[in-house]
Amino acid sequence: MKFLDYFSGIGGGRHGLELAGHECVGFCEADKYAIASYISMYLLTDEQREYLATLPLRQRQKEILKDKYRNGEWFCNDITKLKGIDVPQADIWCFGAPCQSFSVAGRRAGLEGQSGLVGEIFRILRETAEDNRPEWLIYENVKGMFSSNKGFDYFAILAEMDELGYDCQWDTLNSKYFGVPQNRERVYTLGHLRTRGGSAVKIFPLEGTDAEGSVPRINILAHYDGYRRNTQTFDPDGITEALSTCQGGGREHHTIVKIDPDIIVVGHTRLYKGVAKNDKERIFDINGVSSTMRASDYKEPQKVAIPVSHDSAVNKEDGIYVALGNDLIVYAVWYEKYNCYVAIRKLTPRECFRLQGFSDDLYERAEFVNSDTQLYKQSGNAITVPVAYEVGKRLKENESKN
């Protein structure tokens, strides 16, 4: 079936539905950085990419927004100005309107806030003749939508869909059950136009794979620019909490790097659990070393002699500085659970894209036109690809039966 991708972000919904065999005929998005990623990820030709690669990043970001790089695909950047007559015909409308007004982490403005933009979808549907309306609506949003305004906001959305001729069904789907290690619960609401087959169509519930029910976390006392604070860090073998947009305030997601104590050498004297056997040797300390380390900076630990630079004692409570390779030094603390030192680092944008089910190839296409700051934000706002795929697959199976 053909579909339109509203509030598209970087196209997590699009990619999932395309993997399930559906065809995208257009998208709508307001954020220029997300639009740049979207075009780069799905619409550029090889020749266009080669040309854009010759431009500096800032110029590339502006250039890719020109109409020619969409290669004929329908596009709208302001849904509030969109008229029903301007919308191409499609069998599915997929939309994940902004969730901030519904989120328990926000101010809970509900339909009075940004999340009220879902009303624009209903306005456009009212402007569209019933024969031209999509057979399916797919609406994705945060679970906080259920409790927003004591549930009346979600009731109003369902009532609006019903008035427009859609029979609704919904389910709360967690990404961790669909192949990615992320504890991300989202409500999927499906509306089926009752004039296209009655109320017998059943898509939900969807069953995913088994996954751990908890989110493994590691609480480590870490140093940040000269002071200590507890840092909540995720076990690299576990499941993360729902990705955020990482917009500062210490909300970035962290994981750990395990460091074998056998590779730590201080002045050619080994350490045992952070205590130097030769108390004349001290760990190398440098001002401003960040306790967050990017995966791209990580190197296989080597036996490296770390020069003496100050007289502070080395102990488990204070942690140590460890050289990973010849030019990278990280702060590490002893962690009994793993019986080794661990260093804390932020998840990279690439890892965040992976947690949403995007391939490395698609990540690199987004990276081609965006900064790390925007890539973090885009991954946090995205629809998880494997979940969208499962919904799209069920719709495909229903289509084949009719």
Q: What is the CATH number of the domain that holds 35?
A: 3.40.50.150
252: nearest Cα among 262, 241, 260: 241
For the chain, the domain total comes to 2
Same structural domain for residues 232 and 142?
A: no
> CA–CA separation, 173 vs 188, rounded Å?
7
Tell whether the model's pLDDT for residue 245 goes beyond 70: yes
Same structural domain for residues 240 and 389?
A: no
In a domain, 212, yes or no: no
Same structural domain for residues 171 and 310?
A: no
* Residue 305: per-residue pLDDT: 39
Task: Examine residue 56 and say whether the peptide bond preceding it is cis (omega within 30 degrees of 0).
Answer: no
Q: What is the mean pLDDT of the chain?
A: 77
In a domain, 275, yes or no: yes
Residues 6+ apart with CB under 8 A from 227: none
Same structural domain for residues 181 and 258?
A: no
β-pair type (269-272, 92-95)? unpaired
Question: Which residues, listed in sequence order, are joined to residue 24 by a DSSP beta bridge?
Answer: 3
Question: Which residues, listed in sequence order, are joined to residue 222 by a DSSP beta bridge?
Answer: 229
Q: Looking at residues 357-372, what average pLDDT do you find?
A: 96
Same structural domain for residues 133 and 265?
A: no
Same structural domain for residues 234 and 273?
A: yes
Q: Looking at residues 277-296, what average pLDDT do you find?
A: 38
Q: Looking at residues 144-158, what average pLDDT do you find?
A: 83
Question: Which residues, listed in sequence order, are joined to residue 173 by a DSSP beta bridge?
Answer: 186
Same structural domain for residues 372 and 388?
A: yes
Tell whether the model's pLDDT for residue 140 goes beyond 70: yes
Which of the two residues, 33 and 108, has the higher pLDDT score?
Answer: 33
Q: How confident is the model at residue 241 (pLDDT cuts 50, 70, 90)?
A: confident
For residues 66 and 43, the answer to whether their CB atoms sit within 8 Å is no
Encoding tokens for residue 376? 């973090």
DSSP sequence for 117-183: GHHHHHHHHHTS-GGGS-SEEEEEEEGGGGTGGGGHHHHHHHHHHHHTTEEEEEEEEEGGGTTSSEE
Q: In this structure, what DSSP letter does residue 187 have?
A: E
For residues 319 and 274, the answer to whether their CB atoms sit within 8 Å is yes
Position 87: which residue type? V
Same structural domain for residues 190 and 253?
A: no
Using DSSP's 3-state secondary structure scheme, residue 191 falls into: strand
> CA–CA separation, 319 vs 303, rounded Å?
18
Residues 6+ apart with CB under 8 A from 268: 305
Tell whether the model's pLDDT for residue 43 goes beyond 90: yes
Q: How confident is the model at residue 401 (pLDDT cuts 50, 70, 90)?
A: confident
Residues 6+ apart with CB under 8 A from 61: 32, 33, 36, 369, 370
Question: Which residues, listed in sequence order, are joined to residue 137 by a DSSP beta bridge?
Answer: 93, 191
* Residue 26: per-residue pLDDT: 97
Q: How confident is the model at residue 328 (pLDDT cuts 50, 70, 90)?
A: low
Same structural domain for residues 370 and 332?
A: no
Which residue range(s) make up the domain with 270? 217-350
In a domain, 389, yes or no: yes
Tell whether the model's pLDDT for residue 161 goes beyond 90: yes
Q: In this structure, what DSSP letter does residue 351 have?
A: H
* Residue 371: per-residue pLDDT: 94
Which of the two residues, 312 and 76, has the higher pLDDT score?
Answer: 76
> CA–CA separation, 391 vs 396, rounded Å?
9
Same structural domain for residues 84 and 194?
A: yes
pLDDT digits (tens, 9 = 90+) for 171-191: 999 998 998 888 899 999 999
